[in-house]
Amino acid sequence: MGRRFVGSGVSAAVVIICALATGSAASAAKLHARPASRGLGVLIPAHKGQTLPVHGGTTDSLNWSGYAVTPGSGVTGVSGTFTVPSAGLDPPGFAATWAGIGGYNTSDLIQAGVEEQSFPSNSILGDQYQAWYELLPASETPISDCTGDASCTVAPGDQMTVDIGNVSGNTWKISIVDAGKWSWSQDLTYSSSESSAEWILEAPTLVAQTLLANVGTVPFGPTSTYTEGGTTHTIAAGSPTQIDLGTGAVNEATPSALASNGQSFNDCAYALSCPTP
């Protein structure tokens, strides 16, 4: 996710201002110490020269945590459900939960989900929860005019469903539903590699890599599927790769093992372990 203002990605200057708003110059220096982003929402490998597995295994990333399936071509749909987490203040930061197609080992990505940010109420940022879609390399687009709630209001605990599917050619339909509150859909034009499908908790980027907000345990599921060759599959059926957000020493986020349904998992921020749902 490559949003170009606070709520997804921030410049180094804004990161420092936010840290100073909490009263800690040391925190500001720590936040700025992350390496510059090498992409706008695609997976950023944690190590130089890192080889990304394409059929199973585990890999480390500087911005993604979750699961990806990587057939290499022919992914024409992805569906995901998740519970919007509450972004905590220790540490304050940014997060995004989403489902998408592409971006694992390619430069294209079509994605949709919810952003979560958390900063003290007396800072210039405060809390924010918002639904969006993004077609790289374009910026994130916050959605509006939802059926049931024109403001498309999102709050922690909401049950979200994201569906992205190919209509024909380069036409894709993106649908987002906040259960019991509102729904939204739109047809868009995009040239996709159709190379992978993902279900991700992300620490967004802009000029510098942001610090993941402490969102605790984020439940994904019960639906996490992708469509390939006209057939719908679960995550488990696609020889998925598990992605940890971190360098492999102390991770900012780690997904659990998949549940017995092959679709549900937890993604845990700043935790020593992550229980399977």
User: DSSP states of 111-175 as a string?
Assistant: EEEEEEEE--TTSSS--EEEEEEEETTSPPEE---BBTBTT----TT-EEEEEEEEEETTEEEEE
Q: Which of 32-36, 151-155, 156-160, 185-189 has the lowest mean pLDDT?
A: 32-36
pLDDT at 91: 86
Q: Which amino acid is at 57?
A: G
Whole-angstrom distance, CA of residue 268 vs CA of residue 201:
9
Mean pLDDT across the stretch 70-99? 95
Main-chain phi, psi angles of 238, to 5 degrees: -105, 20
pLDDT class of 10 with cuts at 50, 70, 90: very low
Q: Exposed, middle or buried by CB within 10 Å (0-12, 13-18, 19+), for 102?
A: buried
pTM: 0.86
- pLDDT tens digit string along 222-237? 999 999 999 999 999 9
Q: How far is CA 122 from the centre of its chain?
A: 27
For domain 12-269, the question of CATH label 2.60.120.700 is answered with yes
Report the chain's mean pLDDT, rounded to a whole number: 86
Quote the percentage of the chain above a pLDDT of 70: 82
The full set of domain ranges for the chain reads 12-269
- pLDDT tens digit string along 63-77? 999 999 999 999 999
